A and B are shown apart, each in its own frame.
Chain A
Amino acid sequence: MEDIGARILAGDHQVQYGQNQRTKIKALVVDDNMINQALHRTLLRNLGIENHVVGNGREAVDVHCSGRRFDLILMDLDMPVMNGIEATKKLRAMGIQSTIAGVSSRSVDENIQEFWEAGLDDYQQKPLNFPKLVSILQKVNHSV
């Protein structure tokens, strides 16, 4: 493996930026709505973030059971089969420490307390856009 640390010390900031903030972040989009799937995946891709999309909370748990891990999970709330609250609880119970950001069309005062308590690190009201995604990513960078 390359010694990234040495290159950063030598002043190669491009490496630092590229490794920590862009290419290295892997994201999982959990949303049942195809419009939001397309929007979230394109927002992430335009920031150079590799991403995988699933359609409900059960699939998000399954993909983790198969061993895949992500730095960031964008979690919808209202979904069929398993909603965002149950999925977040299950993932935390499995020891998943990824940054989980709740992203739903409910406003912050529309009883999302239970969602936060399930183990969220952040919450943004839909529709997601660049400023909201960048604010979520700052939380990822702090925990990486």
Chain B
Amino acid sequence: MEVGQMQRQWLDYTKSLFLEGFLDGQFLQLQQLQDESNPDFVVEVVSLFFEDSEKLLNDLTSALGQQSVDFKRVDAHVHQLKGSSSSIGAQRVKNACIALRNYCEEQNIEGCIGCLQQVKHEYNMVKNKLENLFRLEQQIVAAGGSIPMTELGF
């Protein structure tokens, strides 16, 4: 594929991620912070998000699997995941965390477990989408092109 075609594909894909609500303006802020002095900023921050989220999702799964659930602990984990997802603009993960916190406040175990599945689902989706986006960026750069950030036109 030629560079121009890959760049158009990148633009369409990026826009679709915003339009479908996977990402919000905070992700755009990360993209704007990336420059020549900091060329891998977005990938670095998103990798930290992946690490952090996977740990928190494991902690949440084990906290909700206990005989007597410590809702304070569950809430603390969800609060952290909500914070991380909002910092990178993973909007749908953040929204699922908000719903989970509400069930946690009600001490509704079934609701919490169902909602945790939703959080995991949203996390896996956005992870997959971001990995596709980064792969496309690597291909553009490898072909000697640049990422057409300014053409996003936001």
Do the beta carbons of B87 and A127 come within 8 Å of each other? yes
Question: Interface on chain B toward A: helix, strand, loop, or mixed SS?
Answer: helix
Do the beta carbons of A33 and B84 come within 8 Å of each other? yes
Do the beta carbons of B84 and A35 come within 8 Å of each other? yes
Among A42, A105, A129, which residue has its beta carbon within 8 angstroms of that of B38? A42
Do the beta carbons of B33 and A127 come within 8 Å of each other? no
CB distance from B127 to the nearest CB of A (A): 15
CB distance from A42 to the nearest CB of B (A): 5
Counting CB contacts under 8 A, is A43 at the interface?
Answer: yes
Stretch from B4-12, B57-65, B75-83 contacting the other chain: B75-83
Q: A34-B48, A34-B52, A127-B87 are in contact. Are A39 and B82 (CB under 8 A)?
A: no
B-binding residues in A (CB < 8 A): 33-36, 38-39, 42-43, 46, 78, 105, 126-127, 129-130
Q: Report how far A97 CA is from B32 CA in the complex, Å.
A: 33
Q: Which residues of A contact B82 (CB under 8 A)?
A: 105
Q: A34-B48, A34-B52 are in contact. Are A39 and B83 (CB under 8 A)?
A: no
Q: Report how far A130 CA is from B25 CA in the complex, Å.
A: 12
Do the beta carbons of B33 and A43 come within 8 Å of each other? yes
CB distance from A40 to the nearest CB of B (A): 10
Do the beta carbons of B83 and A126 come within 8 Å of each other? yes
Counting CB contacts under 8 A, is B131 at the interface?
Answer: no
Among B30, B79, B80, which residue has its beta carbon within 8 angstroms of that of A39? B30
